[in-house]
Amino acid sequence: MLNRLLSHDLPRSRWLALALLVVVVGLAVAPFAFPGSKALGVAAKMLVFILLVASYDLLLGYTGIVSFAHTMFFGIGAYGVAVASTRLGAGWGAVAIGLGAALAISLVLSLLIGLFSLRVKAIFYAMITLAVASAFQTLASQLSDVTGGEDGLSFKPPLWLGPAFEPFDHPVLGLSLDGKIFSYYLLFGVVALLFLALLRIVNSPFGRVLQAIRENDFRAEAIGYRTVVFRTLSNVLAALFACVAGALLALWLRYTGPDTTLSFEIMLDILLVVVIGGMGTMYGAVLGSVLFVLAQNYLQDLLKLGAGTFEGVPLLGQLVSPDRWLLWLGVLFVLSVYHFPTGVVGRLRLLANRQRP
């Protein structure tokens, strides 16, 4: 049953299976096991990043396409829900209309980008997607009447997802269930289903063709596959999944703006997570997202403890200052790439293969 659920793509490593089990169980019980708004926000960001990074890995890891426009589709999903909820009012109807419109726009844009750009070489395609994403970010910042400009849009979610919604008078397992908890489990359920759908895609005959194109597109073309068509379909699918991830983030934050979905920093974060987790492995998106979001949110707190320990030591006290957390994040990334060139998942699978007789 589990083998079919994972599309016959088992972890193939005991340590990897254990790590994935810990992540899934931890995210499933996060509201009960890790109380507090910050911990819940970190867990929700992990879920969004898992879907966003997995959709980008479909492009980069499985098809070999380097695109810098992925955050554009991420932003389209967020703005679709925000604009519809602002104009039509709070309700599931507004969310459905906004998400449907965002998916339609993402479909058209990804199809046009794929058809017109994927015929060029990889570096030129990357530059084209970067230009399109930059233009869209500028457009979203300037259309203040529609998108709220630099300030973004704040909106009311459906009643069940609002923080004021409390259906039970007494706590359940020590936790007061409100709209925020329902929002979290909405994210958890949707991300789990879409992640399993991505696993099915990459392990289908379509996914095998994508991997063949990644390895040698000339050979794939020679044996009869139209590589432009398959690359375009991969681009469209990745865009649609990223669009849903953006809509989920907007519902969680009840806000969207250029900095939360369209900034180039998010694109760099996606690239980092793909490399850390392991390209061409959907499980890498899970482990990479969890490790990256944990470091991004709690590394500064760890440095505060270190700063108190080494207070008074001239050079060391400055190096472990909480203000240097980005420096240490960069050092951790360099070390992870050096020691895990194939990512965490690739390394664990390699160790498992060595231990087998």
**Structure confidence by residue, pLDDT tens digits, 24-59:** 999 999 988 887 888 899 999 999 999 999 999 999
Work out the pLDDT band at 233, boundaries 50, 70, 90.
Answer: very high
CA distance 157 to 135: 29
The dihedral through the CA atoms of 155, 161, 163, 164 has a sign that is positive
Percentage of the residues of the chain whose pLDDT score is greater than 90:
39
**In this predicted model, what pLDDT tens digit does every residue of 152-195 receive, in sequence order?**
889 888 888 877 777 776 777 767 778 788 999 999 999 999 99
Kindly list the domain boundaries of the chain, sorted by start residue: 2-355
Note the pLDDT of residue 2: 74
**Residue among 96, 95, 56 at smallest CA distance from 72:** 56
CATH architecture of 2-355: Orthogonal Bundle (1.10)
* Average pLDDT rounded to a whole number, residues 93-111: 94
CA distance 55 to 61: 10
Note the pLDDT of residue 56: 95
Token reading at 228: 């432009």
* Average pLDDT rounded to a whole number, residues 261-266: 89
